[in-house]
Structure 1
């Protein structure tokens, strides 16, 4: 991994990748990727453009790493205080429900304003 390039170079291989974490803000994802780069862990970010266009999304910006780098990546993000433990209580399902309700209400208000 060269220090003079912006993007990390991935050698073609069968090594699987995984999403280390999802972010709501592109800047936060970029900072986490920088922490990984400083630790020597290659990574890439996906969906930052769509999250910028639709800021009320559900944290679609994914930080991807190689599966073999998972443990060291978690250690690097914990050292930078950027790691969140996964929610196993089902909180994501509750927040998704409220987002859908909020979107339905916004759509209804929009239709009322347009049709009246």
Structure 2
């Protein structure tokens, strides 16, 4: 009986090491997949920022571009991003770094109506 245990001991050790490495690899993949931009949506994140900071001047009958609708914002998404990243807009106010990042992520992801 002692002989059988001695023969299986190396196999058990190798199996244990393999399981340990496999579990570490799966944890690494989960960490790499997290991207804060994945959760940004137009309706929840971008539209409230635009409504609070931009449509006073860029609303119906205001300055170009009209940002009151998704179409108006998405059509001009690159312009909006450029102006807020450079901090030229909004005039007389400012967006937080988190707000700028949210709009930038949304534009970079294709300015989807989500």
- TM-score clears 0.5: no
State which structure, 1 or 2, has the greater radius of gyration over its C-alpha atoms: 2
Decide which structure has greater strand share: 1
Decide which structure has greater helix share: 2
- For this structure pair, what is the TM-score category when the shorter chain's length is used for normalisation? under 0.3
- Normalising by structure 2, report the TM-score: 0.27
